[in-house]
Structure 1
Amino acid sequence: MATIQAVLRRKPNKAGLFPIAIRVTKDRKSSFLFTGQYIEEKFWDSKFDRVRKSHRNSSRLNKLVAKKLSEANDRLIDSDTEGTGQSAKKIKNKIIGKTKLDFFQVSGIFLENILRRKKFDQHYNQEKRLNIFEAFLGRKQLSFVDLDVKLLKRFEAYLLYERKVAPRTAINYLMLIRTVYNLARKEYHVDDRNYPFGKGKIQIKFPESEKIGLNTDEIKLLETESDLTVAQNNAVNTWLISFYFAGIRVGDILKLKCSDFKDDRLYYRMGKNKKIVSLAVPEKAKKLLYQYTSMQQHNNDLVFPYLKGSNLNDDKQVTIRVKTITRNLNRRLEMVAEKLGIKKKLSMHIARHSFGNISGDRIPIQMLQKLYRHSSITTTVNYQSNFMHKETDDALEKVINF
């Protein structure tokens, strides 16, 4: 006789949360059906096999678990009528066969998992991409059997030639679809025979991206231009602060506080990987920052006023605000570039490329790794290779200069 029980699996995900599963046991061997829901271990009541009331979504989660148990028991009864010579795995497969989720159901679970990890920026981007995929299909249901190579190639062509996205952006869409498909394979036992990715199918290969930064003359124009509106001047100053600190990301700049500056050094925690960073404040940066810090009344005030009034403890609200502010900054920077005759694209992210462009091959790669705050030297080498041209330029000149 097989038994079915709701359990909390002991292997946590990257966020430290544990999966709720339905365990099917037969002849002392168990197999598991995952519900796609994760909670902290302290919220699971192992005595009654349910989520504790102290969890904010306990009622909804327990209803889901009860539903899954009911469905599994119904399938188990059907399975038992077919004979006793079935393993726990076979019984599980029979249960799964009638309760498979489609692509968009699994993608919903995927998005929920991102929210639980409080990756609001990632959630915003991935949800937007999934909405575009849904709009392309013209329907809200898609079985994994129908998600084949032909469909994905049509979608890629749609992105490239109708939506006019960059090739690298199109690859990001395909990576997202692959990630959702892999989640379905791992936790919902979707048949691998229809998997559309891999050799001879859809292969994920990132095209090289063009990284072009400003040169010293162009940056001097930004430093000295005075005929700008207040909004344009603030945008340029924000860009210059990013450049002066080796390309600090815009989200981190907007959250800088006066208290982050101590003894002529900047101390802050990176939003991307939570690393603590300490950098000396260059003289150019001191003069520029004084324009903003001298107007602040409290040491805990933000340096730049863009996020003023936002609840900095609300990560979701801050993420949305940063996106809006960045768009506005980039629009003003484009106006400045046009006014100054700078032909290159000018945006907040280009500050990082500009630092790489000017440093070129003049600074040891190990030092650049520290300045960029890269975890791996390989990342620094690959990034900086976009700007290290001296040796190849000299070699080219030697060949053709005869």
Structure 2
Amino acid sequence: MATIQSVLRKKPNSAGLYPLAIRITKNRKSSYLFTGQYIDEKYWDKQSRRIKKSHPNSARLNNLLSQKLAEANEKLIESDNENIDHSVAKIKKRIIGKNKLDFFSAGEIYLANLLKNKKFDQHYNQGRRLQVLKDFLNRNHLPFSDLDVSLLKDFKAHLRYERVVGERTAINYLMLIRTIYNFARKEFGVDDKNYPFGKGKIQIKFPESEKIGLNIDEVLLLETSQDLSEAQQHAVNTWLLSFYFAGMRVGDVLKLKWSDFKDNRLYYRMGKNQKLVSLAVPDKAKVILAQYKKEKKDKDGLVLPFLKETNLKNQKKVLTRIKTITRNLNRRLQIVGKSLGIEKKLSMHIARHSFGNISGDKIPIQMLQKLYRHSSITTTVNYQSNFMHKETDEALEKVIGF
């Protein structure tokens, strides 16, 4: 006889939240049906196997658990009435059912989890990509059995030649589809037999992207630029701070506080991966910081003026504001670049490429890994290979320099 219970699994996600699941047990073997919902462990009542009332969404989540338990028990009773001794895996498959969950439903659960984990930027971008797929298909229901190689090839062609996006952008759409499919396989037991990714099917391969940074002369032009408007000078200062701090990402530059600076060092946590960074403050950066220190009101105040009217506790609003500010900065940088005769497209992101370009072959790759805060040295090697030309240039010259 199989038993079915609601449980809180002991495998937290990256946000430290635990998944709610339905456990099916038979002959001491267990399998799990995941609800796609996560909670803090403190809200789980082990005795009653329910979410405590202190959780802000306890009623809704307990209703969801009750519904899932009722559906599972109904299928279990049907299985028992057939007098067939099913394994726990077959019972789970029967409970899920072939058409229980479609791709877009799984996508909505995936997006909801991004919101719960406060990944607002990802939620916004991935939500838009899912909508593009819905518009392409002109429907809001997509069984996993329909999501085959042929459909994905047609969708990629639509992206490339009708929406006219780049190869890398098209791959980002396919990556999202694969991520949601894998999420549904893991959390809801979606059948693998129609899985459209892998060898001989759809393979995810990112094309090499061109990374071009400014050279020393071009950075000097920015450092010595004159007669700029106030807005343009703010943009140049922001770019230079990013460059001086090893290609610091624009969101991190905009959120710099005076309290991040101690004993002539900068201490901050990267917004992208929450890694801690400590860098010496270069003299060139001190000159720029001194310009803004005149407006300093308290030690926890922001260095740059762009986010001063934004509620920093509201991460969603902060990310939205950073997007808008970055667009404005890039627009002003392009005007400055044109006036200085810089032919490369000047943007905040190119500050990181410029640091890589000027460092080139000068700095050991292990040190660059520390400066970039890459988890893997392979990432650093792949990134820096865009800017390390000395050996290949010398090799070329040895062949043709006769």
Q: Same fold, TM exceeding 0.5?
A: yes
Q: Distance in 1 between matches of 2:201 and 2:98?
A: 28
Deviations 1:70-94 (A, max 9, x none): 2122222222221142233222221
What is the correspondence of 1:2-401 to structure 2 with a 5 Å cutoff? 2-97=2-97, 100-401=100-401
AA aligned opposite 1:307:
L
How many Å separate the matches in 2 of 1:400 and 1:309?
A: 60
Q: Residue 83 of structure 1 aligns to which amino acid in structure 2?
A: N
**Consecutive unaligned residues in structure 1, runs of 5 or more:** none
**Partner letter of residue 73 of structure 1?**
N
Separation of aligned partners in 1, 2:98 and 2:156: 32
Deviation of 1:303 (Å): 0.8
- How far off is 1:200 after superposition? 0.6
Q: Which runs of 4+ in 1 moved over 6 A?
A: none
Alignment deviations for residues 171-224 of structure 1 (CA, whole Å, 9 cap, x no partner): 111111001001111121212110000011000111111110011121122122
CA drift of 1:117 comes to 2.1
Q: 1:2 to 1:282 in 2, by over 3 A?
A: closer
RMSD after superposition: 1.6
In structure 2, do the counterparts of structure 1 residues 297 and 175 end up closer, same or farther at CA, with 3 Å as the change threshold? same
Q: What is the identity, as a one-letter code, of the residue corresponding to 1:182?
A: N
What is the CA deviation profile of residues 241-275 of structure 1, one whole-angstrom value per residue up to 9, with x for unaligned ones?
11111111111100111222223222222112222
Alignment CA distance shift 1:98-1:153 (3 Å)? closer
Q: Is the 8 A contact 1:45 1:52 kept in 2?
A: yes
Q: Is the 8 A contact 1:75 1:95 kept in 2?
A: yes
- Normalising by the residue count of structure 2, what TM-score does the alignment of the two structures yield? 0.95
* 8 Å Cα contact 2:99/2:143 also seen in 1: no
Provide closer, same or farther for how the CA distance between residues 149 and 268 of structure 1 changes in structure 2, counting only shifts above 3 A.
same
Structure 1 CA distance, aligned partners of 2:22 and 2:276?
41
Local SS of the residue matching 1:190:
coil
8 A contact 2:264–2:281 mirrored in 1 = yes
Residue 264 to residue 63, structure 1, CA distance change in 2 (3 Å) = same
Deviates more, 1:89-98 or 1:229-238: 89-98
TM-score (norm 1): 0.95
Q: Closer, same or farther in 2 for the Cα pair 1:18/1:263, shift >3 Å?
A: closer
Partner of 1:30, secondary structure, is: strand
Residue type at the aligned position of 1:58: S
- The Cα shift of 1:99 comes to 5.9
2 CA distance for matches of 1:67 and 1:115?
A: 23
Corresponding letter in the other structure for 1:234: H
Identical-pair percentage: 70
Secondary structure at the counterpart of residue 145 of structure 1: helix
Structure 2 residues without counterparts, runs of 5 or longer: none
Find the aligned partners of 1:293 and 1:251 in 2 and give their Cα distance.
Answer: 20
Q: CA deviation at 1:15?
A: 2.7
Q: Is the 8 A contact 1:22 1:34 kept in 2?
A: yes
